[in-house]
């Protein structure tokens, strides 16, 4: 039942998938432009270390909570020690494809469980 | 706009998580009623689109970075309730796998970008589209919807940051969580989103809404509802 419902794609949907894949391939713009203009983190998204540099101390709660979760691929990067911007761009693309694919599949499954009526 | 762990006090993130979960429960019921099975692939794509678009960090030279979210266009085309679920999935995957946005802040981030933003953007679009079917007006309405949706969501996020020093400080006046108060957080977040990120969200919204008007006009939720009400 799950696989039948809404798994056929029309032409426009296929075209959009191709556009999404293309967008994944150009995601490195999202790290190259900030690097070129030498801009910092997004406002309010600093690491505990950066907060220390900004205000001279690390707030207690921030220090406590900032380590609660170790994400498997932090910052859309695969090898943190690799400083080459070309490699980083590659990791960023791979992260984008992994993340977008998981997001797509999860949303598809949730929708299939929720949606009852159609066609 | 992804609040990391440690910036919000439990007094802030727990209520926001509660509000978010209640909203998501309503969204499940609404989506069941409103969305037809033929659009399921679109919802998956909408979620993936939101995930990808948030990876395009744009710099404000001499300042910080930020990005569009995609909530406005998803709300206009698939409805704010479906947008809520799609953008939530993107945000939760970002937090769990990529550490973008905190685990404790998932409720807050989903509330800001997946609840507040799509609804705000959707009603702004409806407001500006009233009594018109002209293409330039619809494009303008889509732009304003994306622009204001993102800017207002950024201001809401800034308020959540900015109230932390009021809620939780040590006796000697040191912050426990986000150290910046409203007078710093709100202008910082508002200005950068007004100058650049909001414009990008607006342009993306207008382009995609136009594309769907051309290719799948009957799909667009914001127009479908209007027909039904008349």
Mean pLDDT, chain A cut into blocks of 10 residues (119 residues total): 55 93 97 92 92 93 91 90 89 97 97 81
**A3 — contact with chain B (CB < 8 Å)?**
no
- ipTM of model: 0.93
CA distances from B183 to B3, B113, B163, B189 (A): 18, 22, 10, 11
CB of A57 closer than 8 Å to CB of A110: no
Residue B5 in domain = no
Among A13, A45, A115, select the one facing B4 at the smallest CB separation.
A45
Give the pLDDT confidence of B196-216 residue by residue, as tens digits. 999 999 999 999 999 999 998
Average pLDDT, chain B: 94
pLDDT at residue number A97: 97
Judged by CB atoms closer than 8 Å, whether chains meet at B40 and A5 is answered as yes
Rounded average pLDDT over B95-108: 96
Report the Cα B144 to chain-centroid distance in Å: 14
**pLDDT band with cut points at 50, 70 and 90 for residue B230:** very low
Domain count, chain B: 1
pLDDT at residue number B228: 46
Residue A89 in domain = yes
pLDDT at residue number B227: 45
pLDDT at residue number B135: 87
Residue B214 in domain = yes
pLDDT at residue number A22: 97
Residue A100 in domain = yes
**Residue bearing the bigger pLDDT, A80 or B192:** B192
**A21 — contact with chain B (CB < 8 Å)?**
no
Residue A19 in domain = yes
DSSP 3-state assignment of B169? strand
pLDDT at residue number B225: 55
Domain residues for the domain of B214 are 10-229
Residue A54 in domain = no
Judged by CB atoms closer than 8 Å, whether chains meet at A6 and B37 is answered as yes
Task: Name the packing angle between helices B135-162 and B117-129 (round to 10°).
Answer: 150
Residue A87 in domain = yes
Residue B197 in domain = yes
- The predicted model scores a pTM of 0.94
CA distances from B19 to A102, B11, B15, B143 (A): 26, 13, 6, 28
Among B40, B52, B174, select the one facing A115 at the smallest CB separation.
B40
Judged by CB atoms closer than 8 Å, whether chains meet at B98 and A74 is answered as yes
Residue B206 in domain = yes
Domain residues for the domain of A20 are 11-41+77-114
pLDDT at residue number B61: 85
Residue B172 in domain = yes
By CA distance, what is B193's nearest residue in A?
A: A43
**A53 — contact with chain B (CB < 8 Å)?**
no
Domain count, chain A: 1
Give the pLDDT confidence of B60-94 residue by residue, as tens digits. 987 899 999 999 999 999 999 999 999 999 999 99
Judged by CB atoms closer than 8 Å, whether chains meet at A42 and B64 is answered as yes
Residue A88 in domain = yes
pLDDT at residue number A99: 97
Residue B1 in domain = no
**A16 — contact with chain B (CB < 8 Å)?**
yes
Residue B99 in domain = yes
Complete DSSP assignment for A69-116: ---SSGGG-S-TT---HHHHHHHHHHHHHHHHHHHHHHHHHHHHHH--
Residue B3 in domain = no
Residue B20 has pLDDT above 70, yes or no: yes
Residue A33 in domain = yes
Rounded average pLDDT over B17-24: 98
CATH code for position B78: 1.10.1760.20
d(CA B221, CA B43): 13
pLDDT at residue number B102: 95
pLDDT at residue number B211: 95
Residue A52 in domain = no
């Amino acid at each position: 039942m799950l696989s039948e419902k809404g798994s056929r794609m029309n032409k426009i949907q296929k075209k959009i998938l191709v556009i999404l894949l293309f967008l994944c391939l150009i995601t490195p713009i999202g790290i190259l432009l900030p690097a070129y203009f030498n801009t910092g983190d997004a406002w309010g998204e600093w690491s505990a270390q950066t907060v220390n540099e900004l205000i001279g101390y690390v707030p207690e709660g921030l220090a406590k909570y900032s380590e609660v979760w170790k994400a498997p691929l932090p910052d859309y990067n695969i090898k943190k020690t690799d400083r080459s911007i070309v490699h980083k761009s590659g990791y960023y693309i791979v992260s984008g494809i992994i993340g977008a694919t998981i997001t797509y599949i999860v949303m598809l499954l949730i929708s299939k469980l929720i949606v009852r009526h159609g066609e | 706009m992804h609040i990391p762990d440690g910036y919000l006090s439990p007094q802030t993130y727990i209520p926001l998580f509660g509000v978010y979960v209640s909203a998501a429960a309503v969204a499940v019921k609404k989506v069941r009623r409103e969305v037809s099975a033929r659009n399921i692939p679109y919802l998956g794509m909408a979620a993936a689109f939101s995930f990808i678009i948030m990876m395009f960090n744009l710099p404000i030279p001499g300042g910080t970075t930020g990005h569009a979210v995609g909530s406005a266009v998803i709300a206009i085309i698939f409805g704010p309730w479906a947008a809520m679920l799609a953008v939530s999935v993107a945000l939760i995957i970002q937090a769990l796998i990529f550490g973008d946005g905190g685990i404790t802040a998932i409720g807050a981030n989903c509330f800001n970008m997946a609840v507040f933003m799509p609804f705000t953007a959707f009603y702004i679009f409806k407001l500006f589209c009233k009594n018109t079917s002209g293409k330039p007006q619809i494009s303008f309405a889509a732009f304003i919807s994306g622009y204001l949706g993102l800017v207002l969501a950024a201001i809401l996020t800034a308020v959540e940051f900015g109230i932390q020093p009021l809620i939780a400080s040590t006796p000697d006046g040191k912050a426990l969580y986000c150290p910046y108060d409203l007078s710093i957080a709100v202008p910082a977040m508002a200005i950068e989103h007004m100058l650049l990120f909001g414009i990008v969200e607006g342009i993306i919204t207008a382009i995609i809404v136009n594309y769907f008007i051309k290719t799948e006009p009957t799909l667009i939720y914001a127009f479908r509802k209007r027909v039904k009400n008349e």
